[in-house]
Structure 1
Amino acid sequence: MKTCRILITGASGAGVTSLGRALTDALAISHHDTDDYFWRPTNPPYREMRDVGDRLRLMREVFLDRSDWVLSGSLDGWGDPIIPHLDAVVFLYVPTPIRLERLRVREARRFGADAVSPGGSMYQQAEEFIEWASHYDDGSREGRNLGRHQAWLATLSCRVLRLDGDRPLQDLVKEVCRTIR
């Protein structure tokens, strides 16, 4: 592979960002996350979406034309212009109960345990997010879901690697490195 342009994708809490960061450490290349382009910086975060054109422009300016990078996150419904840049896509799947527990831990770490506890300043937002994420497998909520992900993966012409995201992170990194070489 002359370039190494990889998208790591899956449900929220599947370990997509963790694998993206670990993979870029192993390969000594840059890591980018779709959330950094999708959302405007706000406090609290994740309140205002950027326009699609702005997301894509920022991605072009920052990394798309470089030869080596890893992008973690979802391009669902907006990122089709990124697809021709990809050499490989890694799809992580993790059962819902494990993902939801990971999300609760992540939200407490990100915002503070008090903020996401009942009565906390981020409680309502965190609970709404976890409720939305809990429906990824059944597809009963708007947005990203397993069925849409599977259908999208089937359309890709680049290499697609499907992995169990509940495996140890270093095992996943080794498997991706073996596959892309």
Structure 2
Amino acid sequence: MVHIHVMGASGSGTTSLGLALAEKLDIAHLDTDDFFWLPTDPPFTMPRDADERIRLLLEETARPDGWVLSGSALKWGRRLEPLYDLIVFLRIEPELRMARIRAREIVRYGNRIGPGGDMEVKSGKFLEWAASYDTSGPERRSLAAHEQWLETQTSPVLRLDSSREIDDLTAEVVLHPAIAAGAVRRPR
């Protein structure tokens, strides 16, 4: 049984790597956005009550077969920190990260984020927020906040450049001693 937390900036590939690891290790994939945000249309507009989100997340992390948690639970997920066997911190050049985000937003929302779309303003604010990750201070979700948080963790931290192929990243995580020792792999 393994518990992996994959974190990084929006657009760094945390969800993609989380899904790949969950499939490879045959364990559950959990994403912090599914717990932090209430399901709304447009999405990501109403945060879930903090007590409710941690209750739901703790319920899901009680699985006997392990899990991969992707995303950021920086300030609200402290109760999970002792559970992590490995923290994977993804970094990528800001220009490539923002290109990924823009492409993802177009695929997800299409004309809704374009001129006159019902998500145009919200999308613009999100892109502005995401672009400031590398330069903002530790008071918000940023590189500074992530680095500050990583310094406090007792679990091993694996830093990866997420511009690499997903299969290479997955292999490196799976071969990490903290995972290789505890992973229960079923034949595929």
Q: TM-score, normalised by structure 1?
A: 0.94
Give 1:48-67 correspondences, 5 Å limit: 48-67=46-65
Does 2:120 correspond to 1:123?
A: yes
Post-superposition shift, 1:67?
4.1
Q: Distance in 2 between matches of 1:140 and 1:130?
A: 17
SS of the aligned residue for 1:155 comes to coil
Residues 1:155 and 2:169 are matched in the alignment: no
Q: What amino acid does structure 2 have at the position aligned with 1:144?
A: R
Match of 1:104 in 2: 102
2:20 matches 1:44? no
- For the aligned residue pairs, the C-alpha RMSD in angstroms reads 1.3
CA distance in 1, matches of 2:153, 2:139: 23
Residue range with higher mean Cα deviation, 72-81 or 55-64: 55-64
| Corresponding residue number in structure 1 for 2:140 | 143
Q: Identity over aligned residues, as a percent?
A: 44
SS at match of 2:15: helix
Asked if the contact 2:4–2:87 (Cα under 8 Å) also holds between the matched residues in 1, the reply is yes
User: Do residues 80 (structure 1) and 78 (structure 2) align?
Assistant: yes
Question: 2-side partners of 1:105 and 1:153: how far apart?
Answer: 29
1:176 is aligned with what amino acid?
Answer: V
* Compared CA separation, residues 158 and 67, structure 1 to 2 (3 A): farther
In the alignment, what sits opposite 2:88?
90
Give yes or no for the alignment of 1:33 onto 2:35. no
Question: 1:56 and 1:14, CA in 2 relative to 1: closer, same or farther beyond 3 A?
Answer: same
**Does the 8 A contact of 1:34 with 1:71 survive in 2?**
yes
Which one is further off, 9-18 or 65-74?
Answer: 65-74
Partner amino acid, structure 2, of 1:30: A
Distance 1:155 1:99, change over 3 A: same
Supply the distance in 1 between the matched residues of 2:173 and 2:157 (Cα, whole angstroms): 10
